[in-house]
Chains A and B, each alone.
Chain A
Amino acid sequence: MKRSWITFTRVIKSGFVNFFRNLSLALPAIAVMTVTLFISLFLYIANITFSNTINQISDKINITVYLSDKTTTQQLNDFENSLRNFPNVKKVEYISKDEALAIYKAENAGNQNLLNAVDETSNPLPASINITPYDINKIQDIKNFINQKQYLALQDSQLGTSYSGDRKQAIDRIAKATKVLREAGLIGIGVFALVSALIIFNTLRMAIFNRKDEITIMRLLGAKPWYIRGPFVVEASFYGVISALISIGVIEIMFSIFSSALEASSLGLLDIGYASRYFNQYLWLILLAQIVLGFTLGALFSIIATARYLKLRTSK
């Protein structure tokens, strides 16, 4: 026990000593890791922000079912309940005839002609139910549900639902576009993650290749594989942790500069205000995740990269 403790502390210590003595090899490796971790984090936040924007757009898309004036309260309640239980339905909101009129009046406050056309006594506006879906790509399911016989009878025979005709076409286009954008974002992040992992691996491999003679020497002196590998793993994990800290620091600085420079803080689909809020809200979690990521990549890749120089098998 005592002996393995001595060995363990020696491995850790020489990992750190090596780090400082091989600074000229460490700095490029840290630089590469920092850049890739920085871009990964940046892409991640961009993707989150972008998703948020898409969600905001999707949330504005809903279907309105216009109800026939003959619908009873009982029928209405049944209809609302069954809608709430339908899988893709996020929100159901009832708008009575009076509310519809109030909204109409508010919207057309400046247009006396339109206001004159309606009044309390003969309210021509139907009551309606607003349905917000979770997935705007599956609105058709909701529409099919609504169009069952028993519910079709409740609908205003002329207006029916808003999800039809030109409006249906527009919604479907938006739905498709957001889906493609979301997927493109994920694929982009995936590809970048893979490429950056390869770059980091290669950098560490080069750094270790530069010191392969050292590994050979230690092997010839009778050091066990993990005693040789250990310090490399410690050193590379340390690179990872440093890179994680620097990358987070850089993003933090970027946000503070950008948010003050762009008070409006909105660049089309990228809402910098939201990104900054998100970053600061989850700062500790992001920091932890980034450190764990850097640490793991450094450790894992150095284990793999040292493997080829540590083979004990002798050639026959």
Chain B
Amino acid sequence: MILLDRVSKIYNRKATALERINLHIEPKEFVIVVGQSGAGKTTLLRLLTREEKPTSGKIVVGGIDYDKLKDKDIPLLRRKIGVVFQDFKLLPNRTVFENVAFALEIVGMGNKEIQNTVPKVLDIVNLKNKANNMPYELSGGERQRVAIARAIVRQPKILIADEPTGNLDPKFAWDVIKVLEKINKFGTTVLLTTHNQEIVNKLKRRVVVIENGKIVSDRTNASYRL
């Protein structure tokens, strides 16, 4: 599902963000990428969403070879990957419903279908009764769940979550993680980055540790100590 082959990202001579990363993620896997701030986790995700190009190496996601991807087709790639950000990135002037619906509008889905689909997804993240609220009226955890609803509403094969719990209280953080597990159960490949030790250890999933731009360990059912 996700394949990185000897991928390096060098910003300049002094700053090597990623060095010869090899990573292979199977469909329906739940993979946690851990590492200190600045280890290269976010760079890795930015390469996957094509916000940046690797300096060298090969990336294939969901059958799309990034070397052959044209700039104008980037929107089409991004529609296939669901992304959840640490800072939620909700559209501030749109209601919860509209934020989720936006992901469907841009792929040209009809209004009726949108009216049907969005409530179902809001139900999955337990926000059905907040559909008409504006983002600023929600708690951090609720906002993040809206972001997750938006990321999964197009039923992507891959969900990338970049420190989704980073800005949340532990109580809310766990709500978010539970939603991610639920989605994974439905068959979506989940790639989660975090440096929350407790979450990693409780989840007992495959853990990839990045340090200074290199993968230093990659084990299943692993725990992690900072």
Chain A interfacial positions (CB closer than 8 Å to B):
3, 6-7, 10, 18, 21-22, 213-214, 216-225, 227, 312-316
Contact = CB atoms under 8 A, between A and B. Distances in A.
A221 B74 contact: no
Contacts, number: 67
Contact of B108 (A6, A18, A214, A216): A6
Contact of A315 (B53, B74, B110): B53
Contact of A312 (B72, B83, B93, B111): B72
B93 A22 contact: yes
Given A6-B111, A313-B71, A220 B55 contact: no
Given A3-B108, A7-B108, A227-B106, A221 B78 contact: yes
Interface stretch (B27-35, B44-52, B175-183, B185-193): B44-52
A214 B92 contact: yes
Contacts of B172: none
B52 A217 contact: no
B2 interface: no
Contact of A220 (B71, B78, B93, B111): B78
Interface residues of B, number: 30
20 contacts: A3-B108, A21-B93, A216-B89, A217-B90, A217-B91, A220-B49, A220-B83, A221-B83, A221-B150, A222-B74, A222-B75, A222-B76, A222-B78, A222-B107, A223-B75, A223-B102, A227-B106, A314-B52, A316-B53, A316-B55
B131 interface: no
Nearest to A227: B106
Contacts of A222: 74-79, 103, 106-107
A26 to B, nearest CB: 12
A104 to B, nearest CB: 81
Contacts of A315: 52-53
Contacts of A220: 49, 51, 78, 83, 85, 89
Contacts of B110: 6
A256 B150 CA distance: 56
A314 B75 CA distance: 12
Contacts of B137: none
A221 B103 CA distance: 7
Interface string B42-75: 0000000111110100000000000000011011
A7 B114 CA distance: 13
A22 B91 CA distance: 12
A15 B4 CA distance: 40
B92 to A, nearest CB: 7
Contacts of B123: none
A221 B102 contact: yes
Contact of B50 (A3, A22, A216, A314): A314
Contacts of A21: 93
B71 A312 contact: yes
A225 B106 CA distance: 11
B5 interface: no
Given A3-B108, A314-B51, 17 more contacts: A7-B108, A21-B93, A22-B93, A214-B91, A217-B91, A218-B106, A219-B75, A220-B85, A221-B78, A221-B106, A222-B76, A222-B77, A222-B106, A223-B75, A312-B72, A312-B75, A313-B71
B198 interface: no
Nearest to B77: A222
A3 B106 CA distance: 11
A220 B76 CA distance: 11
Contacts of B79: 221-222
B89 A217 contact: yes
A38 to B, nearest CB: 29
Contacts of A6: 108, 110-111
Contact of A223 (B50, B106, B111): B106
Contacts of A7: 108
A6 B112 CA distance: 12
B102 A218 contact: yes
B93 A18 contact: yes
Contacts of A213: 89, 92
B91 A218 contact: yes
Nearest to B72: A312
Interface in B120-174: 150
A197 to B, nearest CB: 28
Interface string B76-103: 1111000101000111110000000011
Contacts of A18: 93
B56 to A, nearest CB: 10
A214 B79 CA distance: 17
A35 B48 CA distance: 48
Nearest to A18: B93
- Return the 8 tightest CB-CB contacts between A and B, nearest first: A222-B78, A222-B79, A223-B106, A21-B93, A3-B108, A222-B75, A312-B71, A217-B89
Contacts of A221: 78-79, 83, 102-103, 106, 150
